[in-house]
Amino acid sequence: MRVIDNYVNGRWVASKSTELLDVVNPATTEVMARVPLSTPEEVETAIQAAKDAFSEWRETPPVTRARYLFRLRDLMEDEFEDLARIIVQEAGKCIDEARGEVRRAIENVEVAAGIPSLMMGYGAEDIAVGIDEECVRQAMGVFCCIPPFNFPLMVSLWFAPYAIACGNTYIVKPSEQVPLSQNRLFELIDQTDLPEGVINLVNGAKVVVDTLLESPDVRGVSFVGSTAVARYIYSKGAANGKRVQAQAGAKNFLVVMPDADLDRTVPALLTSFYGCAGERCLSGAVLLPVGDVYEPLRDKFVHAASRLKVGYGLDESVQMGPVISKKHMERVLGYIEKGLDEGAKLLLDGRGIQVDECPNGYFIGPTVFGEVTPQMAIANEEIFGPVASIIKTQDLDEAIEIIHANPYGNASSIFTTSGKCAREFKYRVRCGNIGINVGIVAPMAFFPFSGTKDSFFGDLHGQGRDAVDFFTEKKVVISRWF
């Protein structure tokens, strides 16, 4: 059985750890590889390699740094389908969802390659007689990222290309559940001939994370995952003097007004609630119909969800794949039971779904609860699976009150043909990403991936100019020549 290697100082290195975890295809339950839980000493070796590479890399002109990213971009385009297939096999996505992930990953590399312009400072002459002032951006040192299982390729590229483009060096700790696409990405990075130590890969779990958080040589950390872990990363990283950006959990509400175009709204809702099997921080979780739209929307939504084809994502006709693991499947099923115990009505039951070609896969079918109240656990807690809850509301004010009562603030959308309602929603709702007739509010690579409340800890987000600000410090220079 193949054991995944680390990538340190420009070389593939086998971990000496005897602790290995299986990498399981969630559709077929096939064990595809084994991943080592690297030791603190192996993490320290990677940190030292990145530290040693920093001085020379920082002095490399931004235009030259960008050229490596252009090479990586071309290699990723050449291997586009291969990367997408690996994502399907390790994470359970449908092939089109995986292609979308690869495309957004490449877009981040492309945006980061614009670093000669993104990193420009600013200045002013004669702020006083004969005195000039300027502000320049400078690289800081070693950074790292801890990406989640649900976007195994893309999320690291919200951060890593910007970090190295700015002149920093980097360490990636992939999710131990889905290390294969990162491994393939680093095979492509190796072909770019980046200088040794500029970017490194260390597999593992909490021991690796804690070693990175405690090291005085690591200047900052980027994380995406659950709120509980994000709080831990943020508090421990900040206590050790690091910059931290921690994207956390979500409970996203989608409001549908009486004037919405249901024929276009329902397909957007299906993609939001059931794309990636509901395992994404932008997925719809609670549907808030306003007024008289409740019954026709409910009926159309349930009917459409019942027709989704569930199966192995390499089949082009499949519309929803499995959840990531048996443990997570049991967690989601537990929430369905909890919803029933709380008195919600199960309008569409995804339990016990059979996929003939993958009888042992971790499949849950699209599930819809009606007669949900805002106080129920299924309406408040992050389920991270293909479960939709419907709460009827009387007006937009009530819908916004429900949104604001929830501790999360990642994304929220409204479906309407009213500009007035759309503007009011955009202005009032306290969420980082707002959609107007858009079910998945995924920012382009040149915009920040926002988030508020318990959905984000830190100040600067991933992607775009926020990433450049995160990975640099500003130095103000005031000069006078006698």
Straight-line distance from the first to the last Cα atom of the chain, in angstroms, rounded to the nearest whole number: 71
Instruction: State how far the Cα of 69 lies from the Cα of 112, in Å rounded to an integer.
Output: 8
Residue given tokens 């509010």 in the structure block: 441
Nearest to 390 by CA among 273, 307, 278, 310: 273
Nearest to 50 by CA among 141, 174, 139: 141
Instruction: State how far the Cα of 90 lies from the Cα of 424, in Å rounded to an integer.
Output: 41
338 three-class SS: helix
Q: Cβ distance 365 to 386 under 8 Å?
A: yes
Task: Please report which residue ranges of 278-325 form alpha helices under DSSP H.
Answer: 294-306
24 three-class SS: strand
Tokens of 347: 């309008």
Give the sign of the dihedral formed by CA 382, CA 387, CA 392, CA 395: positive
Nearest to 32 by CA among 236, 158, 180, 164: 180
Q: Which residues are tagged catalytic?
A: 281
Q: How far is CA 28 from CA 96, 278, 324, in A?
A: 19, 19, 11
Q: How far is CA 193 from CA 52, 61, 68, 69, 188, in A?
A: 17, 16, 8, 11, 10
